[in-house]
Amino acid sequence: MHRKKLTILLVALGLTPVLAYLAWQHVPAPLPARWSPQEVAILQSLALQSLPPLPPDPGNAVADDPGAAELGHHLFFDTRLSITGNVACATCHQPEHHFTDQLQLGKGIAEVDRNTMSLVGTAYSPWLFWDGRKDSLWAQALEPLENPLEHGSNRSDIVALIRSDTDYRQRYESVFGRVPSQQSTDQVFANVGKALSAYQRRLLPGATAFDDYVAGLDDAGELQPNTHMSTEELAGLRLFITKADCTNCHNGPLLTNNSFHNTAVLAAPGMLPAMGRTEGLRRAQADPFNCLGDFSGAGEGECQELRFAKGGDDMIGAQRTPSLRDVSKTAPYMHAGQITDLARVIEHYNEADLAMIGHNEAKPLGLRAVEKKQLESFLRSLTAPLATDPHWLEPPESLPQDALPHRQQPQTPNTRGEIK
């Protein structure tokens, strides 16, 4: 009898630390009664209500011209800008998917080596593409047109379309004046990018439950669930600005600092580690369509980002910080779509392994299982319809039916969350 009691006691003693660990991992901590004044200030800085007016698009005098936006709208959805006649900007940047495509790697004529970034809110970024190899939205719009894996076209053919198509010619000349001679192909091509930029500047995020919650905060900063956010989402929000330190990179009302960071994301299978910003800056400085180039038209003092861009060894492997607005709609994640879902993204940062190239800026977060779930719940709450007139989200009615884009089908991950 004594031996049986002793066995039960020993088992109980052995289970106690296990049960304590499980409770520590899975039982949520109580929320404090209110936000501190410093936390309220941080929350207000993250809310969409603090988003300033659109900045200039350096070198683009027609950035906010309605006629230029209409021209760009037509160009964006037109597959005739590709050499095969079946790829448009909207092939990869699909409005129904927050202007991404749900693929691991973008696919135009063929598969590229980068995940498709959303275009929503990119008018606020001084650098474009994952590595920042373009310094304006209009210069960014030009590269896919001549990339052999994307549109595969060339500027001469694109300018020929502008000249030969009556509708395009009229729209172009209403914005830029008469289509010039063949010797000015580069200038007309640059103007195509400027029109596309004028359209893309209309793509803006809408207010989410988080923004409504912050707008309703009283002076006391009461930290309580309400009709906008649940207890789990609020706990995740608190982690976002405190323990997880997400605001180190994902700050401001678009939840991005538009800068470059190496966070030790593994290279995609079959790919070498990307040099990131180091290579991107070199390309931006050599780009004939950059802010200092002949086709920019930027005034004195408008090219400060390019003149004083940070380079050096710290930028090896660094990629541009994406916005977290509507992040639940933009999977898979990272520059080559290496991570399939938000839970695995959080786990990646929670572990913060060594970088394959350069230096990992991230530090292990030490989040418990329940905290990782809370953080994911908050990230999923950052979803809302775009603050964009629906007119801009559909192909223009005047485009020929045979010029409309086709859709690529997303790849299916295996049971381990890997995309093959």
How far apart are the two ends of the chain, measured CA to CA in Å?
59
178 and 287 housed in the same domain: no
37 and 113 housed in the same domain: no
Amino acid identity of 360?
Answer: N
Residue 356 lies in a domain: yes
Could you list the residue range(s) of the whole structural domain that residue 331 is in?
33-53+206-298+305-380
Q: How much is the pLDDT for 404?
A: 81
pLDDT per residue as tens digits for the range 241-274:
999 999 999 999 999 999 999 998 887 777 888 8
Residue 329 lies in a domain: yes
133 and 71 housed in the same domain: yes
Look at the block and give the residue holding tokens 């030790």.
264
Residue 101 lies in a domain: yes
The phi and psi torsions of 34 (rounded to 5 degrees) equal -150, 160
Banded model confidence at residue 9, pLDDT cuts 50, 70, 90: low
% residues pLDDT > 70 (the chain) = 91
Amino acid identity of 350?
Answer: N
155 and 210 housed in the same domain: no
Q: How much is the pLDDT for 25?
A: 55
200 and 219 housed in the same domain: no
107 and 177 housed in the same domain: yes
- Among the residue ranges 173-177, 303-307, 410-414, the one predicted with the least confidence is 410-414
191 and 210 housed in the same domain: no
Q: What CATH number did the domain enclosing 334 receive? A: 1.10.760.10
Amino acid identity of 20?
Answer: A
- Total residue length of the chain: 420
pLDDT per residue as tens digits for the range 362-420:
899 999 999 999 999 999 999 999 999 999 999 999 887 877 886 555 554 444 444 43
The candidate with the shortest Cα–Cα distance to 137, out of 74, 71, 199, is 199
SS3 320: strand
pLDDT at 161 over 70: yes
Q: What is the Rg, in whole angstroms, of the alpha carbon atoms belonging to the chain?
A: 24
Domain count, the chain: 2
What tokens does 136 get? 């304006």
147 and 260 housed in the same domain: no
